[in-house]
Amino acid sequence: MSIEPIGIFLAVAGFYVVVAGLGAGAYVLCFTTLLGAAAALLLPALGGSSIQPVHFMLVFLVLAVLLRPNTLAVSLSCLSYPGPGFWFMLFTFYSVLTAIFLPRIFEGATLVYSLARNDQIRGIVSTPLSPGTSNLTQSAYLLGSLACFAIIAAYGRLGGAAVMARALTLAGAICIFFAIADVVTYQTNTADLLSVIRNANYRMLNDGEIQGFKRIVGSFPEAGTFGYFALALFTFVLMLGLESFPVPFLTPVAFALGIAIVLCTSTTAYVASAITALMVLGFCVVRILRGKGTSRHLTYAVACVFALPLVIMALMLIPSVWESISDLAHATLTTKLESQSGEERMRWNAQALGAFGDTNGMGAGLGSIRASSFIVALLANVGVPGTILFVIFVYSLIRSAAKRKHSNGVEGVVGLAALLSCLAQITAATISASAVDLGPLFAITAGLAAAYGLGPLHAPAQITLSKPFPLFDLQSGSPMWLADASQAEYRPFNDGDGRV
């Protein structure tokens, strides 16, 4: 095992989190989710596997919780029946069991595409099914996601929802910074300046172009992953903005993330963004029809229904601009499946579904099969039982949030934003994700959504962030959400030493 320079820096930050508690840990954790192309540790004994900064930081976060018995108790309670955490725990434990047993039970019974790391070859290869290091690493990642889910759910229930909202908004701003740095260093031939955050043992696709457009990868290995994270953060920040959450720079961050998604040239991001935009539109329409809508909800609905088509028609009047946009859309959407990448991913899915049949619907075991769709990856790796458990988890997450009657407080706004972000991530993953674990960012947003569904364990903040028309307090003349926010009182639960 070798620790990288960025790992040393994160170790110092991790020990600070252990001492300072989850308030500091929230910011560090959200920041490290962005370092998708970095490695804090390299493990030559496991074929050169890379330990990403976010998983490295989770170790310190778990240690911080273990040193705070009351917070640990709440974290464990967030995994109790019948809440969504219980089903996520069952899904995780079942998936880990499949990683242990199924590759041995069905060894040699089918061919699978898997990640090979050895002296002869590194990449995705087709081999007979057998136990491998991916079974171990994917199990560790999924267990880490479960721990992250439980900790964030507990922190949200203990009054940390507002802190998480600020941390994720800041992560969105940093994501934009890395995107700009990626483009600038590419144009100036100084990409080596970002080598400190591109040191993982992955294939880096940071110099690609489509129709003259630089494929934005930011701090991730390739454009698709960047688009996945940018969409998740964009959805979260957009929902906070629509609900008038009092965090500075929400609108600029949401706008910049939206532009980044458009420019990243990721097919997955484009398709998932369109579906997510419709989900958010449906949310706004429901708000308006129930008399709880604000001018922000109305503006978004009008922009989707009227403004966007008008902008498209205006661009069509500028032939040179429209030709560039058409060429980009043609390359990333209409002919994507005909490209080498598209054909390769279709082969992955075909072989994964074949393995699903060869294992009689049980799957080949977590981490055994590489696919190009989250649904296919679920079926091929953990089979029908694992897929059912995940579906129940998502249903439970949505149902627990829908049952809550008060969605205008801090926990409600953050919880709904997190839930929509979860759905956006599942949508994007369904299009192109290669593995079962959706990652710590999904666990963070799912934890926040679960915290809202389970309800707070502290005196609720008396704050209303989203008001129906009119938007202004007639007596003070100030926006209602701003006036109410100043009166919020938070009384978070702690362990008696001031540490949440």
Domain boundaries, the chain: 2-485
In contact, 49 and 117? CB cutoff 8 Å: yes
Strands (E), 122-241: 122-128, 209-210, 213-214
**Positive or negative: CA dihedral 344, 347, 349, 352:** negative
Distance CA 187, CA 415 (A): 40
Residues of the chain with pLDDT under 70: 44-48, 114-124, 211, 315, 317-325, 327-342, 405-408, 458-500
Residue 242 vs residues 159, 272, 499: alpha-carbon distances, Å: 22, 20, 32
Question: Measuring CA to CA, how many Å separate 79 from each of 149, 340, 397, 493?
Answer: 9, 43, 12, 19
- pLDDT tens sequence across 65-102: 999 999 999 999 999 999 999 999 999 999 999 999 99
Q: What is the pLDDT of residue 459?
A: 43
Chain Cα centroid distance, residue 470: 35
HSE toward the beta carbon, residue 86, CA cutoff 13 A: 10
